[in-house]
Amino acid sequence: MYIGRAVIAGYTNEKKVFLGYILASMSFPKRRARIDEESIKIEPLKTADYNNPYITYNCMKKVEKDKAVVSNGIHTDVIANKLDSGYSGRDAIAISLFAMDYEKDEYNTPRIAACFDNRSLYIGIIEKEKIIIDKVRNDRCMLISTYNKTVPEEISIKRSTAKDIAKELCMLDYEHIICSAVVCRREENDFEFATEEKNRL
């Protein structure tokens, strides 16, 4: 099954908060996830010659020391700004998705996002004809994607560290996975980033 881009929000077996991102693409496969201080950026490889405004963006961003966001586009930064201004995770996602709407490309690609506001996890999507924002229960992991899984659904994640979760995401049985990214809360006011490339496994 091809799911395109996916965000994951949940809790590890050790009750650690984490956010995950899967980049799967048929049209623009020459890309990577790169850690850049307090964010993770999706960007083309130097060998790629792509002319598309939607393929380069921060997919993850840490906000202050206790909040974080993941998404499939530049709305990562918009949501991060709302969290930084004191909005709840639910409101930060809702306002940002409404403002930016789905991507106006040939596929009407949905915008998806998840965030942690230092209290709760939220996950959401905006498509051409609907918007969903759900709170993630504290014993669950939820996934939503741009194709085929456009309603949040439960997923089982067995690993506990950012690096191991990133590897696990790359090994999921979905087509055309390129790379993954994870931000995991190790303890209060402390997050760790990790990325993984499918071709390394």
The CATH fold of domain 6-200? Glutamine Phosphoribosylpyrophosphate, subunit 1, domain 1 (3.60.20)
Q: Which DSSP category does 164 fall into?
A: H
What span, in angstroms and rounded, lies between the C-alpha atoms of 9 and 110? 17
**How many residues does this entry show for the chain?**
201
Look at residue 106 and tell me whether its pLDDT is greater than 90. no
- The overall average pLDDT reported for the chain is 95
Measure CA 52 to chain center. Answer: 20
pLDDT of residue 200: 61
Query: Residue 199: what pLDDT?
Result: 80
pLDDT digits (tens, 9 = 90+) for 37-76: 899 999 999 999 898 889 999 999 999 889 999 999 999 9
pTM of the model: 0.96
